[in-house]
Amino acid sequence: MLNCLLIGYGEIGKGFKEAYEKHHNFDVIDVKLKYTRKYFDYDIMFIAIPFTENFVEDVKAYKVMYSPKATVILSTVEVGTSSKVDAVHVPIEGKHPYLAESIKKWQVFMGGKNNIAYKFFADANKIVYQLEKPEHTEFLKLQSTTNYGIMIEYARYVNDCCKQIDMDYNEVIAFNTAYNQLYKSMGMQNFQRYILTPPEGAKQGHCVTPNAKILAKQFPNVIADIVAEVKL
């Protein structure tokens, strides 16, 4: 078992710890928790705090303070962030707010290479899909949530059209469900569609709009702007 330090105990931090605490030892640091240090030599430090302008400086400070042998960023960050702090990046996917079960099932994508980080996941019987650079997994996470956000906005648009022609939106859901079943039966799962109910108001999925803003800032395009400009 590796001795691990987890920085941040929000939904991602809690879910990650719950998913892996049977396989490794954890200390947790969070502003809402009293820190009780059980381990004094950390093999690996996980970062699960929100991305801010001070993110890089904060992570560097934690590295100096606790001297982990390896650092893994779980947070959704700007492309290029992990390299600035000599860390690998592991994006998290799953259903909020209780992420533990999703994390247990989710395949690990690791951006960058680190033997200790690899061992952490391998010891928990996880298959690791390794990418050459952390920039690649940082981008994968941003494009994933933005893709979802675009589909939410499209569902909202379709729902507005339905109202104009006095059509029940459930008929759209029935049609798209049948569409997915058809193409799955033909072995063409790559044509599967999201089946979404448009949310009331402007609120989207967890962190969708903030993540799209990060993506749109670095890679300006009208597609990302569609989600980034939605007001919560």
Q: Are residues 63 and 145 in the same domain?
A: no
The answer on 146 and 97 residing in a single domain is: no
pLDDT by 10s per residue, the chain, length 232: 999 999 999 999 999 999 999 999 999 999 888 888 898 899 999 999 999 999 999 999 999 999 999 999 999 999 999 999 999 999 999 988 889 999 999 999 999 999 999 999 999 999 999 999 999 999 999 999 999 999 999 999 999 999 999 999 999 999 999 999 999 999 999 999 999 998 876 555 568 888 989 998 899 888 888 887 765 4
Residue 17, C-beta contacts closer than 8 angstroms, at least 6 positions apart: 6, 9, 26, 28
What pLDDT shows up at residue 182?
Answer: 97
Does 87 lie in the same domain as 13? yes
> Are residue 97 and residue 150 in the same domain, yes or no?
no
The predicted pLDDT at position 223 comes to 82
Verify that 8 and 121 share a domain, yes or no: yes
Residues 28 and 106 in one domain: yes
The answer to whether 94 and 104 have CB atoms below 8 angstroms apart is: no
When divided into structural domains, the chain yields a total of: 2
Which of 78, 99, 132 is the last residue before a domain boundary? 132
Question: Are residues 149 and 67 both part of a single domain?
Answer: no
CA distance 91 to 73: 8
Give the span between the Cα atoms of 222 and 111, in whole angstroms. Answer: 27
pLDDT of residue 203: 54
92: domain range?
Answer: 3-132
- Is the domain of 199 the same as that of 110? no
The CATH number of the domain where 163 resides is what?
A: 1.10.1040
Looking at the structure, tell me whether residues 88 and 127 fall in a common domain. yes
| Boundary-marking domain end, from 132, 157, 178 | 132
Per-residue CA distances from 189 to 157, 178, 179, 182, 229 (Å): 25, 13, 11, 9, 31
Residues 147 and 219 in one domain: yes
Say if residue 165 is in the same domain as residue 220.
yes
Is the same domain home to 144 and 128? Answer: no
The domain boundary, picked from 132, 158, 184, lies at 132
CATH number at residue 76: 3.40.50.720
